[in-house]
Amino acid sequence: MTVVSSKPLKGYRILDLTTFLSGPFCTQILADLGAEVVKLEAPGGDSSRHIPPYFVEGESAYFLGINRDKKSIAINMKSPEGLALAKDLIGKSDVVVENYRPGVAARIGLDVEALRAASPGLIWASISGFGQDGPLSDRPAYDMIVQALAGVMSLTGEPGRPAVRLGIPAGDMVAGMYAAIAINAALAARGRGEPGCHIDVSMLDCQLAMLSYQSTYALIAGITPQRQAARHDSIPTYRSFVGGDGRELVITANTERMWHGLCDTLGLGELKDDPRFASGDKRLENREALWALLEAAFLARPAAQWVEPLAENGVPVALIKTVPEALDDARHSGRGMIMPLSKHNGTTIDVVGNPIKFIDAPELPGRYPPALGADARGVLGAWLDMDGDRIARLVDSKTVVFSNAPERG
CA separation for the pair 233, 231 (Å, rounded): 7
Q: What 8-state DSSP symbol labels residue 55?
A: E
Is 95:183 a contact under the CB 8 Å cutoff? Answer: yes
Q: CA 75 to CA 90: how far, in whole Å?
A: 13
Phi, psi of 13 (to 5 degrees): -105, 125
Distance CA 33, CA 25 (A): 13
Whether the bond into 53 is cis, omega within 30 of 0: yes
Amino acid at 180: A
Give the integer Cα–Cα distance in Å for 77 and 294.
63
List the catalytic residue out of 16, 172, 205, 375: 172
- Among 133, 126, 197, 211, smallest CA distance to 166 is for 211
- Contact call for residues 328 and 322 (beta carbons, < 8 A): no
* E strand or H helix at 60: strand 59-60
Q: Are 21 and 171 in contact (CB under 8 A)?
A: no
Q: Is 172 a catalytic residue?
A: yes
Strands (E), 129-225: 198-202
Enzyme catalytic residues: 172
